Each structure stands twice: as C-alpha cells, then as structure tokens.
Amino acid sequence: MIEEKERILKTAQEIFLKEGFYKTTIDDLAAKLRVSKKTIYKYFESKDELVKETVFDFLQTNSRNIKQLLNADEDSIILMTRLIEYLGGLSLNLNEKWLTDLQTHYQDLWIEIDKFRTKMMNANLSKLIKLGQGEGYIINLPSDFIVALFQSAIRGVINPDYLINSKFSAREALDMSLQILIGGILTPKGETAFKKLNLGE
C-alpha cells in the first residue's frame, strides 16, 4: 500500500515538474502509471491534494539533500561550489510550466515555496558565509545582510513573471545570479581558491 502510494506520488511529481500541473489530468496520470483513476483516488482525494503532496515532497527531499551536502567536512569554497552544482542540477527539473502553473493556479503553494526557500537560505547560507569568513574567503560583512541580498536576487529572477518575459531558462537565470553574487562576496584569497577549484588545479 505504502509502496503504491509512493510510486503514484513520485511519478506524478516527475510528470508535473516536466509538463506542469494545470493541463495534466488524473486520466493522464492513470494512463502513464498503468493504474485506474480509482487507485489514485484511493490515496489522494483530488488532483489538488496530489499536487500539494508532490510539492511538499519535492521541498522536503531537497531540504534533506542540501543539509547533507552542507554538513560535509569541507571548506566553504568547496561547499559553495557543490551547492551551486546541486541547485543548477535541480533547476534542470523545473519547467517554466511548473513555475507558471504554481503562481497562476496554486498561489498558496507558491507562497509556501517562497517561505521554504527563504528559511533554507537563512539557515544554510548563513552558516556557509560565517564559515567562509572564518577561513578568510568571504568579505567581512554581516551574514544576515549577505543572505538578504541573495534572497532578493534569487526571488527576483527565479519566478514566473521574470522567466516568462526573459530569454533565459530557470537554470541560466540561477547560474548567472549565483556567479555574480558569489563573485561579489569573495576576498582575493577566496577568488584564488575559487578559480583553482574551477580549473581543477
């Protein structure tokens, strides 16, 4: 029973992330899962409930992955690079249809996602910045100010309103944002370490 529900949840999540929520029907999901609609409704009362559960599962899974990544015993430059790579890979799974459907048809979920990523950045990025400052890699400015700056920038570009009207994909917008932001907070020592890491030296 649990395995069947999990399979429905994960398959629905994969389809929603690639194709969006709005035009994907329970009939579509049932056909791809090769189960009846009755089987899906046994675990999820409605499509809306299924959408919400896929979003919250997505958030929780990536929360655990990011925490595990940042708890590794490495210096801040390595952790920052891994975080960028992880977020870049993650954004490959985010179709603009998914983002647009969230903001247009599930505004309450979009608000929850924004709260979630704000909380994640407050906790994890602040920790990373303080580590980097202790190592001499990151400039000595208040960590809460740097985090707020990152949040504003990411919120400004990784949202449907911006992406729909720009020529950039979600991944491109995220990568460019992080390159500019991280480049701006490194000390000369941090820049050297970052360049060496990128060059594989």
What are the chain's domains? 47-199 (1.10.357.10)
What's the pLDDT at 159? 67
Query: How many helices and strands (H and E) does the chain possess?
Result: 12, 0
φ and ψ at residue 152, rounded to 5 degrees = -65, -40
Which residue, among 128, 162, 134, has the nearest Cα to 147 in the 3D structure?
128
Distance CA 158, CA 98 (A): 12
CA contacts within 13 A on the Cβ side of 184: 12
Residue 186 phi, psi (nearest 5):
-85, 140
Q: What's the chain's Rg over C-alpha atoms?
A: 19
Question: What is the pLDDT at residue 200?
Answer: 45
**Is the distance from CB of 147 to CB of 92 less than 8 angstroms?**
no
Sign, CA torsion 171/149/76/72: negative
Residues in Cβ contact with 13 at an 8 Å cutoff, skipping those fewer than 6 apart: 54, 57, 58
- Per-residue pLDDT 10s for the chain (201 aa) are 678 999 999 999 988 888 888 889 999 999 999 999 999 999 999 999 999 999 889 888 888 888 888 888 899 888 887 877 776 666 556 667 777 788 788 888 888 877 877 777 777 888 889 999 999 999 999 988 988 888 787 777 766 677 677 788 766 777 787 778 888 899 999 988 888 776 444
